[in-house]
């Protein structure tokens, strides 16, 4: 299969929507990472998403929608869910809520669970696709399962080129790390740290988020995920000869790549996957990526979560 690269003008967006209507797969830009989009109502399409990624079938997908009203037709919202949606949508927040009985989704999207993950993304090109498609779109990150998430169209082509119909090139993602996932089926739980600082979510809820229960299966909870081909060592203040060193802050003068020379966590989030992709290309199979310490506060928690998984035994 040839994978077309679509420009984000009216004709590119029309083409992306036409492919989705025909039951094809299109990688779409979101503010967090690129997503591999397909019609969430079709078993065949959702099965094709799992197949293209090599993703285990027990790992459910996020449903992308135009607004809160559309999300309320898919999931049951309570006051907490509505407050978070109003505060952070469109934007990098995913809510896991009880599945609405009449949602009309393929059971493969939720992996048979009685809950569903819903999100309203902010990227204008993807908002245009979602509005024109006028149906629920399932979209996991557009990378082979277990690999680093894509933040550019080139990353998508490198990982999934030849296996999907098209990539809509909306430029580099502005957040650079996946959405924060909050579970509201019962107590409010942080299921995956991400592009919105958990503390900002706690301020809207008026209380702390509990940790995820370990029985919930999420790739964000699998030990080895976001894995480069090279080995990864963390909290490296002095790299070894041959390491590709990714720095953070001003004390990493010898680093070939630096997540943020000024120690800014927003900037580091934006650069994380991009630099892991670059470092992986530089280190190659058998090489090592060494990463400087990143403070574990605010967005640093999401960065360290992804780094720990990138470094986990495979």
Residues that bind ligand TXA (CB under 6 A): 30, 32-33, 35, 59-62, 92, 94, 96, 110, 113, 115-117, 119, 121, 139-141, 178-179, 181, 191-192, 216, 218-220
| 123: helix, strand or coil | coil
- 110 binds, options ligand TXA, Mg ion, none, Cβ within 5 to 8 A by partner type: ligand TXA
Q: For residue 75, what is the DSSP state?
A: B
CA separation for the pair 103, 74 (Å, rounded)? 4
- 116 binds, options Mg ion, ligand TXA, none, Cβ within 5 to 8 A by partner type: ligand TXA
Instruction: Rule CB under 5 A: choose which of 141, 179, 180, 260 binds Mg ion.
Output: 141
First to last CA, the chain: 30
Site string for Mg ion, 264-303 (x = CB under 5 A): ----------------------------------------
- 96 binds, options Mg ion, ligand TXA, none, Cβ within 5 to 8 A by partner type: ligand TXA
**Which one, 141 or 152, has the nearer CB to Mg ion?**
141
94 class by beta-carbon count within 10 Å (0-12 exposed, 13-18 middle, 19+ buried): buried
- 66 binds, options ligand TXA, Mg ion, none, Cβ within 5 to 8 A by partner type: none
The dihedral through the CA atoms of 138, 143, 145, 147 has a sign that is: negative
Nearest to 281 by CA among 176, 160, 148: 148
φ, ψ for residue 132, nearest 5 deg? -70, -35
CA separation for the pair 271, 53 (Å, rounded)? 23
- 35 binds, options ligand TXA, Mg ion, none, Cβ within 5 to 8 A by partner type: ligand TXA
Altogether, the residues listed in the chain come to a count of 314
- The minimum distance between CB 219 and Mg ion, in angstroms, equals 5
Strand partners, 192: 181
Q: How many residues bind Mg ion, per CB under 5 A?
A: 1
Residues that bind Mg ion (CB under 5 A): 141
């Amino acid at each position: 299969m040839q994978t077309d690269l679509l420009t984000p003008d009216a004709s590119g967006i029309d083409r992306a929507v036409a492919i989705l209507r025909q039951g094809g797969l299109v990688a779409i830009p979101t503010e967090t990472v690129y997503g591999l989009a397909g019609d969430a109502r079709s078993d065949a399409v959702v099965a094709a998403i799992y197949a293209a990624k090599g993703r285990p079938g027990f790992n459910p997908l996020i449903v992308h929608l135009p607004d809160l009203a559309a999300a309320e037709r898919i999931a049951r919202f309570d006051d907490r869910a509505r407050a978070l949606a109003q505060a952070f949508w469109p934007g990098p927040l995913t809510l896991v809520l009880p599945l609405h009985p009449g949602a009309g989704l393929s059971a493969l999207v939720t992996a048979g669970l009685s809950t569903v993950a819903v999100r309203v993304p902010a990227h204008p090109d993807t908002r245009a696709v979602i509005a024109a498609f006028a149906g629920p779109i399932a979209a996991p990150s557009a990378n082979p399962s277990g690999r680093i998430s894509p933040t550019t169209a080139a990353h998508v082509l490198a990982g999934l080129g030849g296996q999907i119909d098209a990539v809509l090139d909306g430029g580099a993602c502005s957040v650079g790390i996946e959405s924060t996932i909050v579970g509201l089926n019962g107590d409010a739980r942080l299921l995956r740290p991400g592009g919105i600082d958990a503390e900002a979510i706690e301020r809207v809820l008026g209380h702390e988020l509990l940790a995820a229960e370990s029985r919930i299966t999420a790739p964000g909870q699998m030990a080895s995920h976001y894995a480069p081909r090279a080995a990864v060592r963390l909290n490296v203040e002095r790299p070894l000869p041959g390491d590709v060193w990714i720095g953070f802050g001003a004390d990493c003068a010898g680093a070939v790549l630096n997540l943020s020379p000024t120690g800014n966590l927003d900037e580091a989030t934006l650069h994380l996957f991009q630099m892991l992709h670059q470092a992986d290309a530089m280190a190659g199979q058998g090489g090592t990526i060494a990463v400087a310490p990143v403070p574990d506060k605010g967005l640093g928690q999401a960065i360290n979560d992804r780094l720990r998984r990138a470094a986990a035994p495979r």
